[in-house]
Structure 1
Amino acid sequence: MKATDTADFINSLNAGVFSQQVGKALSDVAAGVVEFGKQGQVTLTFKLKQIAQSQQVAVTHTLDFVQPTKRGKKREDTTLDTPLYVTAEGLQLFLTNPTAQLFNEKDAPVHART
């Protein structure tokens, strides 16, 4: 099995929303760190559990961050699940390529006249 493409994995979680949430959290925490001179933290947690007896896993992904503020800190966390397939290419959202050609020319139900 190949190593999972990390960027593709993160972008697959919660239909890409998780990736946007991580980006926003990183930006907000970094801004708070620079503005107030205090330490911040962003934590990602992934828990995997097999779905029934299939080749799928439910990935429970948690984003937890602490953003420094003037008089303290702001903390937020979010947790959701995304089902992914375990393939030879690593963890993937789809078992096969959904944009691949469904039929090739020789399998076409109607052949062109010559």
Structure 2
Amino acid sequence: MPTPTDTAEFLEELNGGAFASQIGHALSEVAAGVVDHGKTGKLVITLDFSQIGESSQVKIKHKLDYKVPTKRGTRSENTSLDTPMHVGTGGKITLFAEKHDQLFSREQAPITPRT
């Protein structure tokens, strides 16, 4: 069974947090336009995934497209960037690779400690 990705953390990691900030800005602009002009607005978030080589990493293209109602029509804006992410156990997506247990215990380490 897949391990769920932490959605809030995932969004904050896309483009170093800039994408989450852009979403917040767009949400406010669309909502304000809807209330100010009594018309509908729209915000679309698109995430496209592609594998990076044969690794357990994916490139996530994140696109934000929105339309703000105005007095005489609409104003639209879109932005698109991509962020490489790691896919861990069960499909969990994170910015950094999963930590794995050490290969050797302290007693099995091939280097003897200084005395």
Instruction: Compute the RMSD of aligned alpha carbons.
Output: 2.1
**Cα distance in 1 between the residues matched to 2:38 and 2:78:** 22
How many residue pairs get aligned? The number is 104
Query: Unaligned regions of 5+ residues in structure 2, if any?
Result: 100-106
Alpha-carbon contact 2:15-2:81 (below 8 Å) kept: yes
SS of 2:34's equivalent?
Answer: helix
Once the two structures are aligned, what percentage of the paired residues are identical? 45
Q: Is 1:59 the counterpart of 2:70 in the alignment?
A: no
Poorly superposed stretches of 4+, deviation over 3 Å? none
Displacement, 1:96? 3.6
The alignment's TM-score, normalised by the length of structure 1, stands at 0.83
SS of 1:35's equivalent?
Answer: helix
Q: Which amino acid is 1:91 matched to? A: I
Q: Is 1:9 the counterpart of 2:10 in the alignment?
A: yes
Q: Is 1:48 the counterpart of 2:62 in the alignment?
A: no
Q: Give runs of aligned pairs for residues 6-85 of structure 1, distance below 5 A.
A: 6-85=7-86
**Cα distance in 1 between the residues matched to 2:46 and 2:20:** 13
**Cα distance in 1 between the residues matched to 2:96 and 2:71:** 45
Q: Which amino acid is 1:67 matched to? A: V
SS of 1:17's equivalent?
Answer: helix
Query: Unaligned regions of 5+ residues in structure 1, if any?
Result: 98-105
Cα deviation 1:36-67 (Å, max 9, x = unaligned) = 00000000000000000111000000000000
Displacement, 1:88? 1.9
Q: Which amino acid is 1:95 matched to? A: A
